[in-house]
Each structure stands twice: as C-alpha cells, then as structure tokens.
Amino acid sequence: MPGNYSEKVMEHFKNPRNVGEIPNPDGTGHVGNPVCGDIMEMYIKVKDNVIVDAKFKTFGCGAAIATSSMVTELVKGKTIDEALKISNQTVIDALDGLPPVKRHCSVLAEDALKSAIDDYLKKSTGQGLPGFKPHTEEHHG
C-alpha cells in the first residue's frame, strides 16, 4: 500500500466520509496550524445529548484525512459521554493501524473532536470540557 498505509486508511482517504461543514453547528473544533501542515475543522450537531451529525474539513496528508473521516464516523449517534471516550488509539485501531510517523494525525483527530465538544459545552452550559487542552503545540515544538 502506498505510504505504508493500511487498506482501511486508503479506503477512507479515497472516499472520505462526512466532508463539509454543518450550517449552524452546535459545536465547532479547529485544531492544527498551517506551519505543521495539518489543520482540521470539525462540526457537530447535537440533539438530546446525542451527536446526530458530524462533518469535517482537513488540510493535511493521507493520514490526516483518513483519521478525520474515521472520527466523524465513530462519533455519529454517540452521546457526549460516549464520544469523549474516543481516543486517538480508538481511531488508529478502527483504521487497522497507522505508520508510527503518522500517529500525530490521530492525536489531531481526537483533539478536533474534543475541541468541537468543548465548544458545544461552552455554548450550551457555559462551561467547557474540564481540563481540555489541545496537543497541537506539543508535537511541533
């Protein structure tokens, strides 16, 4: 497989799910920066504490696009509490693994989701996600 990617990663890269924006989203996450070459934007729609829709836009490599796609798939239909249990490892496992140099993409995908949930909680309860701090700065020191 090109780039040492799994078939699952390539499949999500070729046919990314949930690309786009949600008009009037209940939560928006924006992580990464152009300097490091990865930016993810995530939009969620929440109804009765359940994430009923999720979409993304990503500037980045194959792994960045595949992890964004996968995380939006994983999160749909989940309650906020369930969604918060999705870690970067959950995303990696769902994609049948990622090359070691691409693990940071899964961290970014987890951050994008948490950042969207953080935004949703701030808007709906006035309080963000306790202790949430994106990893973005760490891996680009």
Q: Is 105 a catalytic residue?
A: yes
Give me the catalytic one of 42, 80, 98, 105. 105
Shortest distance (Å) from residue 8 CB to another protein: 14
Contact residues: another protein, CB under 8 A: 2-3, 10, 13-14, 16, 19-20, 30, 34-41, 56-65, 101-102, 139-140
Q: Is 36 a catalytic residue?
A: yes
Give the residue among 43, 73, 54, 60 at the shortest CA–CA distance from 104: 60
C-beta neighbour count of 127 within 10 angstroms? 9
d(CA 47, CA 45): 7
The smaller minimum CB distance to another protein, of residues 27 and 60, is found at 60
d(CA 75, CA 107): 15
Give me the catalytic one of 10, 19, 22, 36. 36
Dihedral Cα 133, 51, 29, 110, nearest 10 deg: 50
Shortest distance (Å) from residue 62 CB to another protein: 5
Question: Catalytic positions, please?
Answer: 36, 105
